[in-house]
């Protein structure tokens, strides 16, 4: 049996994924598309049609769903990955 666990975490702009939820201007937005632009920035497309440009090295708080199996949590470890400065998204 699989359950979903939702957690609030902080990630770099380069680690944002489709289906993450972020707050912009006090409104929650679900990300439906992520595209790299100009090498060091990402364009986040939201379900409501709005978009947001985010730098790859910027930290942002998101809400992400993780799958958990019955009998314990099998969510990935939430240790931050080391940032490799200068690397494109």
Each residue's pLDDT tens digit, 13-62: 999 999 999 998 889 999 999 999 987 899 999 999 999 999 999 999 99
What distance lies between CA 10 and its chain's CA centroid? 8
pLDDT greater than 80 at residue 68: no
List C-alpha distances in Å: 11 to 3, 20, 21, 69. 23, 11, 12, 24
Question: Domains plus CATH for the chain?
Answer: 2-69 (2.30.30.30)
Number of continuous H segments (helices) and E segments (strands) in the chain: 0, 6
- More confidently predicted of 89 and 10: 10
Radius of gyration of the chain (CA): 14
């Amino acid at each position: 049996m699989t359950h979903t666990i939702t957690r609030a975490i902080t990630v770099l702009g380069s680690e944002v994924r489709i289906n993450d939820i972020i707050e912009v201007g006090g409104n929650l937005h679900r990300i439906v598309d992520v595209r790299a632009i100009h090498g060091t920035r990402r364009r986040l497309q939201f379900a409501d049609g709005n978009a947001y440009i985010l730098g790859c090295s910027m930290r942002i708080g998101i809400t992400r769903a993780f799958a958990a199996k019955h009998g314990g949590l099998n969510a990935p470890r939430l240790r931050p990955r080391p940032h490799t400065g200068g690397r494109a998204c």
